[in-house]
Amino acid sequence: MLWFAVAGLCDDFKVFARDGGTNSVTVNSNASGQRWYESGVADLLREHCIDCHNPDDPAGEIDLVSLLDPLNVNPDLSRWESVLTQLVLGEMPPLGESQPTEVEKGEVVKRIQMELDKSGRRFDLFEKLDSPEFGNLVNHQKLFSGDVLDKPYSPARLWRTSPKVFENTKNRYGFDAQALRQPFIVDDKEGIKDYANLLFADSAVVDVLLMNAGDAADKLIERRSELKAIAEVEKGPNDEPLRIALSEHFVRVVYRDPLPSEMDRYVDLFRRTSIEAGSLESLRLTLMAIMLHHESVYRIEIGLGQIEDDGRRMLSPVELSFAIAYALTDQRPDAALLTAAGSNQLDDRKDVRKQVERLLADKAIDKPRILRFFQEFFGYSHAHKVFKDEKRSGGFSYYGENYPEMYERDADFFVLNLLEQDRDVFRQLLTSNKYFLLNRQTFRNTVYDFYLRNQQELDQDIFPESKQRELLDLVGLDDWGQLNKKYHLHKFNRGFNGSVRAIKQIVKEVRDWKNTTDEDKLLHGMQPLYQKYPMVYDLADDEQDFLLPQPYARPNRAGMLTHPAWLIAHSLNDTTDPIRRGKWIQERLLAGLVPDVPITVDATIPEDHTKTLRERLSGTEKQECWRCHRKMNPLGYPFESYDDFGRFRSRELLDKLPKVDGAFPSKSIDSTGMLVGTGDELLDGEINGALELIQQLAKSERVRQSMIRHVFRYFMGRNERLTDSATLIEADRVYVKSGGSFNELLVSLLTSDSFLYRK
Amino acid sequence: MASTRRELLKRLSLGAGSGLLSPFLQQVTAQAEGHSSKRPMRFVFVVKSSGIVPEGVTPKSLEGDDARNLSMADIELPQSMSALEPYKNQLSIVQGLSGKMCRGGHSSWFGAMGVYMTGGEHNRGAILRATADAELARISPAPFSHVGLAVRGPALSKSYGGTMYPGITAVAANKELPFQGSPDLAFEQLFGSAVSANGKGQKRFSIQRNLFDFMVDDIKKLEKAVPVTEKDKLDAYLNAFEELQVRHSRLTEMKGSILDGAPQFTDKFTSEVEEVRQEAHFDIATAALISGLTNCVTLRLDNLSTIYKNLGLVKPNHGIGHDESSRTQVECRDLIRQHHTSLLAQMAGKLRAVPEGDGNMLDNTMIIYFSDASNKHHGDCLEWPYVVLGGCSGKLNIAGRYIRFPKYGEQGCRTIGNWWTTLLNAYGNPIAHYGNEDLVLKQNGVSVRGPLDELIV
């Protein structure tokens, strides 16, 4: 039995529900158009807008005088939408001008929106504001200005169980849990995926849950003696064994003690059903009902802790224990978190810091969510979805091991290495040219090398502890238990335990699989199946060396944006993709916005086999296109120095033209660009090539802050709002002060008001 | 049967109280009375392993590479397909379509009906989108929107019985359709509301209502306590159980038609003989269509571990594909095809016996027989043969015809992307092009997006 029962959770909900759980301002929906308008909208326009937006010299060529008539008199809906957008995003009035109070602004926003709703016009700004791809709608400058004084909080919320948490906890459902299917599918799109407000447990989820619950219940009854005994009592079991059995199952699945009222309901369900169908079927059904409990579907973050004067509620110790665990580990809270929650040691920010620091410091605790952030942020783990023609590449392979998946794992290694150093992490991610190549082959060759150097002793089974330690150091492990966390080995090698026998098995495989007796190839080369694997790192077949000290510096590269996995993930099937690469940089690194493609635009690239892709894209430089494309193309063009397989190049092959003298014609790459209006003056100007662009980006304060905004989104499971300003400014300060420590950044965010409070 | 069904459906619609239920029943009733302007649309996808070798399904008189589109009225079918002779006027053989955008080898996995490259030898790979069978199922709703039945699981697996995921059908990105591998369980799940082998299914079905009611009540209680802004999330969970309540009611009300349509439960449904299990799955699929329980079935007929012992074969399909059998691969394939086509013919016969509107149920059904390994044991996807049976609800110009598209790379060649687009368009999904394009054809300027217009009525 768990001792930290959340008894009274539902009662607390009721208290919460009574005051609405929102900050909403009561609006008289019967008020006439004139009355709503008179009560503040016109005043706000007069006081804060009309001075600049008047017909004499309208700022931005926007004249708002016409809006001094009420909306129902002047149905200029587009202009009203524009006013509403500017107000919500805090874009207007501009910084430095007198500002309406948040209450005034909130009131006016509500009123304008209500009138727009009445007009039947769909206004989707609020939906967009909740969606990861529109996170940048919140003004960056204002967010980091220090002018926003609101105290941060997250909305009270239900957050659907993550697929990874389900994978890690499904064995609590019963036996043969590996056969249970994943109910909590998350769309595998680019970017941050697990957003609390976007994921629902709908009928698709319930179908799978039901099937899982039925299968699990069958096996439980079959194999657990106490359940089998209940099922076999035809006239119905006594209350006590039934309650104990159901309660135990509840604790396993829902991870808390059931309330007495909950237990009464389950017993009632059992009794009613058993009259119809007997004990066996009734028990099966009741176990299923427990497995479908809403708390195993949604985690609940209402804020059941202390209430502040301003209405914010702190998460309760139990809520905090789950929030901290799920933020970092994909697991339910561990014993230390539960103990802290149950003994008044998870009551305030200091307590939370202690737990977060403990989890981060303990290497034995898996924290897969940290690497996943970088996978989702950079999007490099989509490389395997962009199919490349094997023939065109000269050897790119999808047979056996899938090359792009292997490049993705190389990229994981690149990130993990920098996180281990935990210094200047963002800049290093953007600029380090030290890569890891095919770790499984490097692992094998290292073991082979170790064997050759110690063959005499090993063949006599002499393997002292100091030597065992040496092997561990060589492959960068503290113990063999870490092996499969660090390396993605061939399935034959995943059980490697450092024994002499295991070493000799690898030696045998190296010799058998490489199909050669040439010792140099055995030591430095790789299996024929992966012969072409290193080409994306600009390594020719005869340059292969897989006994390299890793990481391995590569020329013409800088950081993740020139890593083959990133370049492939952000390419098309048969070409590079400067526009989307530029959009990625604009949105992820520059906190910028690129409008959706207008529906009237035919976004296909004209075919002309005599031109480079950049030349073919010149159509986007027409005035009407350039308004948007200037935000993308100049950022993407420098990466034309790499082909769509990620190989460095100085010329673009025109491979759809006939060959001349056995080779395709080619043209020089133009990787220059001119940056304007990036939001960081130091960045604006001429750019000569990808490496120069990357170095500039890595120095930019805006880029650092933009990355921090994304870290915030991922760990809070939502977009930032202006009210999160204090959290972000502090996170940025801590990151800089700590010399670019990602761990310190995480501690700052996970102890912030945005994380701790709900409203 | 017909008059019973019509009356039953009429009764059903009168008794239907739920708003969710009405449109479906109105549609079915109108169809039963022949008043519907829209003909019913049913789909059966029969997916075999180890490829369909094009020569095996080509009538002898039509051998060759040249493009064709002609009536088969006077053409003799290959001997191994003789069971389909009585249905020749509603039989189509479609050849020459390529699928090079898919992975070749033992299986193209979801690519076969999803038209993209995915998976490895033992890895089903990423699910990019709903496969075409799932898209078609969506067009023609029924209490069970899409039934998956499988004699075997993924191409190279030994999985057998129970819920299986053979890696061929996806209902959405990252979401595979579960298949029932045990005919007896499939029988209970589909017909258990009205009839079952041992009474357990009916009992289980009946008390399910308690579970759904319990969950609805439980979630409603919580709704009062959840922040207004989060109510939608709880509503989604609630609605899912309410939908199940509705389906439960619908199935309860359909008891008569299910009883009429359900096959007799025999030891066929618990047999461990592969050929018998196949027959059992066919029986279940046919009965589910006739009862109106579903309008779409995908049937995974075998995999590479299947051994056709009753046909006198001793090697599994994998061994046959690698010429390990004492008989030639052609002989083995002929035997297997003869068996498969006789199963198809039985299904067609049962559907043809049920009058519907001015014709019969086969007129409004499309049975597609093909392989997830395209054209051979290690499919190279240069060609992907389809054998189609049924009147296809009058949507397609293919009944009774032999159609062969130009060879891969030749002018006028077409892909399975065009094929599935054709089906989707013909049945009412206006998608411009379904699936990925063949990049090599595209580079060479012979790739064409969109449907095969000449096949659409």
Considering the domain boundaries, does residue B260 fall inside one? no
How many CB atoms within 10 Å of residue A541? 11
* Lowest-confidence segment of A155-159, B128-132, B273-277, B437-441 by average pLDDT: B437-441
Are B312 and B439 in a shared domain? yes
Q: CB–CB of A419/A367 below 8 Å?
A: no
Q: Could you tell me if B20 lies within 8 Å of chain A, comparing CB atoms?
A: no
How far is it, in rounded angstroms, from Cα A691 to Cα A260? Answer: 65
Cα B328 from chain centroid (whole Å): 30
| Number of alpha carbons in the 13 Å side-chain half-sphere of residue A672 | 6
Which residues of chain A register pLDDT less than 50?
1-33
Residues B315 and B357 in one domain: yes
Structural domains of chain B, count: 3
Cβ(B249)–Cβ(B23) under 8 Å? no
Cβ-Cβ contacts under 8 Å, A157 against chain B: 227, 229-230
Question: Does B337 share its domain with B409?
Answer: yes
- C-alpha A396/C-alpha A411 separation (Å) is 18
Q: Do B117 and B151 fall within a single domain?
A: yes
What pLDDT band is residue B309 in, cutting at 50, 70 and 90?
Answer: very high
For chain A, the C-alpha Rg in angstroms (whole number) is 30
Is residue B75 in some structural domain? yes
pLDDT digits (tens, 9 = 90+) for B237-247: 999 999 899 88
Distance from CA of A157 to the nearest CA of B (A): 6
- Residue type for A409, please? R
pLDDT given at position A748:
98
- Is residue B77 situated within a structural domain? yes
Q: Do B299 and B343 belong to one domain?
A: yes
Beta strands B296-300 and B42-48, pairing class? parallel
**Predicted local confidence at residue B12, as pLDDT:** 33
Q: What is the mean pLDDT of chain B?
A: 88
Residue of B nearest to A11 (CA): B225
Q: Looking at the structure, do residues B30 and B107 belong to the same domain, yes or no? A: no
Tokens of B82: 């003789």
A22 near B CB under 8 A: yes
What pLDDT sits at residue A601?
67
CA neighbor of A613 nearest in space, from A579, A567, A565? A579
Are residues B417 and B316 both part of a single domain? yes
Distance CA B82, CA A236 (A): 59
What span, in angstroms and rounded, lies between the C-alpha atoms of B121 and B136? 28
Taking contacts as CB-CB distances below 8 angstroms, the residues of chain A near B117 are 387, 398
The token pair at B160 is 């057998």
In this structure, chain B runs to a length of 457
Residues 643-672 of chain A whose Cβ lies under 8 A from any Cβ of chain B: 656
Which tokens sit at A573?
A: 């099937």
* B289 shares its domain with B394: yes
3-class secondary structure, B403: strand
Report the gap between the CA of B332 and the closest CA in chain A (Å). 28
What ranges make up the beta strands (E) of A195-330? 298-301, 313-314
Write down the pLDDT at residue A15.
31
Q: Do B331 and B308 share a structural domain?
A: yes
> Which region among A511-520, B46-55, B193-202, B356-365 has the lowest average model confidence (pLDDT)?
B193-202
Q: Which distant-in-sequence residues (6+ apart) come within 8 Å of B37 by Cβ?
A: none
Tell me, yes or no, if A57 comes closer than 8 A to chain B by beta carbon: no
What is the tens place of the pLDDT at every residue in A451-484? 999 999 999 999 999 999 999 999 988 899 889 8
Residue B4, domain extent:
1-38
Distance (Å) of CA A673 to CA A603, A639, A646, A652, A661? 22, 10, 20, 17, 33
Same domain for B155 and B240: no
B300 shares its domain with B380: yes
Task: Kindly state whether residue B262 falls inside one of the protein's structural domains.
Answer: no
Q: What is the pLDDT of residues B56-110, one digit of tens each?
A: 999 999 999 899 999 999 999 999 999 999 999 999 999 999 999 998 889 999 9
Residue B169 located in a structural domain: yes
Q: How far is A733 from chain B (nearest CA, A)?
A: 33
Do A187 and B174 lie within an 8 Å CB cutoff? Answer: yes
Tokens matching residue A121: 């016009």
The answer to pTM > 0.90 is no
**Which residues in chain B have their CB less than 8 angstroms from residue A656's CB?**
443
H-helix or E-strand containing B318?
A: helix B317-321
What Cα–Cα distance (Å) separates residue A331 from each residue in A339, A353, A369?
A: 16, 19, 10
Instruction: Tell whether B259 is covered by a domain.
Output: no
Provide the CATH number for the domain around residue B64. Answer: 3.40.720
Residue B5 is assigned to a structural domain of this protein: yes
**Model-level ipTM above the cut of 0.90:** no
pLDDT band at B21 (very low <50, low <70, confident <90, very high): very low
The residue among B250 and A111 whose pLDDT is bigger is B250
Domain identity same for B331 and B275: yes
Q: Which helix (H) or strand (E) holds B48?
A: strand B42-48
* Chain A nearest C-alpha distance from B231 (Å): 9
Separation of alpha carbons B294 and B42, rounded Å: 8
Question: What number of CA atoms fall less than 13 Å from residue A745's CA on the CB side?
Answer: 26
Q: What are residue B47's phi and psi, to 5 degrees? A: -115, 115
Inspect the interface and report whether the beta carbons of A398 and B103 lie closer than 8 Å.
yes
Q: Quick check: B227 and A22 CB within 8 A?
A: yes
In chain A, whose CA is at the least distance from the CA of B179? A211
- Chain A residue numbers with beta carbons less than 8 Å from the beta carbon of B199 are none
A90 close to A142: Cβ distance less than 8 angstroms:
yes
* pLDDT category of residue B128 using cuts at 50, 70 and 90: confident
Give me the pLDDT at residue A37, please: 60
Does B146 map to a domain? Answer: yes
Position with higher pLDDT, A482 vs B377:
B377
Boundary (domain end) residue, out of B253, B279, B297: B253
Q: Which residues of A touch B138 (CB under 8 A)?
A: none
